[in-house]
Amino acid sequence: MLDTHARKYVNPVIECGAKFLLKLKLTPNNVTLLALLLGISTSIFIYFDMNIVAVIVLWLSGYLDAVDGAMARRSNTSSSFGTLLDIVSDRVVELSMILVLGLMFVDVRFNLIILTASILISMTVFLTVGALTEKKGMKSFYYQAGVAERSEGFIMFSLMILLPNYLGVITNIFSILVLFTAMQRFFEAKKILD
């Protein structure tokens, strides 16, 4: 929801980053890989109880994840492979955090498994609709808006990192939001694809 409705407010900052990184001769895929490495390092910081650093690095990774697409559009270098790299990188970052939290907090492993399943279902709907629809948006495929988009995911992961005593509750709320988004996208897809 935030990605769809708040993008216009943060877009100048994203475009500024894209312009700066293009001047440094970085490619969008370079920045995607940098975002991936930062995102994975978030899990390392979580493991070593450096939670504030983990959240800062997570959001920096997320910022670069938005900047790479802006760079591709600005430099007219958008590619299907870049889209694939971006989406796979996002899931690797999410899974790395879920795995480290599962290692550290055994009592909420089941909750984290449910969250992983919820993300899998939601992404299956999202990507299948993107592949099957003729519509194109700002991105290189049809982007279905939903209640739980990337920014909401970052907020929920930040809460999970900063409030480990409430990890089970936050994870359950996150799972419900993701499943609701999957259903929302599924019913929208029914209208689009019929």
Q: Which of 135, 141, 126, 137 is nearest to 184 (CA)?
A: 126
pTM of this structure: 0.90
pLDDT at position 33 over 60: yes
pLDDT digits (tens, 9 = 90+) for 152-181: 999 999 999 999 999 999 999 999 999 999
| Other residues' Cβ atoms within 10 Å of the Cβ of residue 180 | 15
Cα 160 from chain centroid?
15
Instruction: Determine contact, residues 42/90, Cβ cutoff 8 Å.
Output: no
- Helical ranges in the chain per DSSP H: 2-5, 7-23, 28-47, 51-74, 80-104, 109-132, 150-162, 167-193
Direct distance between the N- and C-terminal alpha carbons of the chain, in angstroms, rounded to an integer: 25
Q: How many domains does the chain have?
A: 1
pLDDT at position 136 over 70: no
Three state DSSP letters for 61-97: HHHHHHHHHHHHHHCCCCCHHHHHHHHHHHHHHHHHH
User: Coil, strand or helix: which one is 57?
Assistant: helix
Which domain, by its residues, includes 44? 2-193
User: At 99, which CATH number?
Assistant: 1.20.120.1760
pLDDT at position 70 over 90: yes
- What are the respective helix, strand and coil percentages of the chain, to the nearest 5? 80, 0, 20
pLDDT digits (tens, 9 = 90+) for 81-134: 999 999 999 999 999 999 999 999 999 999 999 999 999 999 999 888 888 886
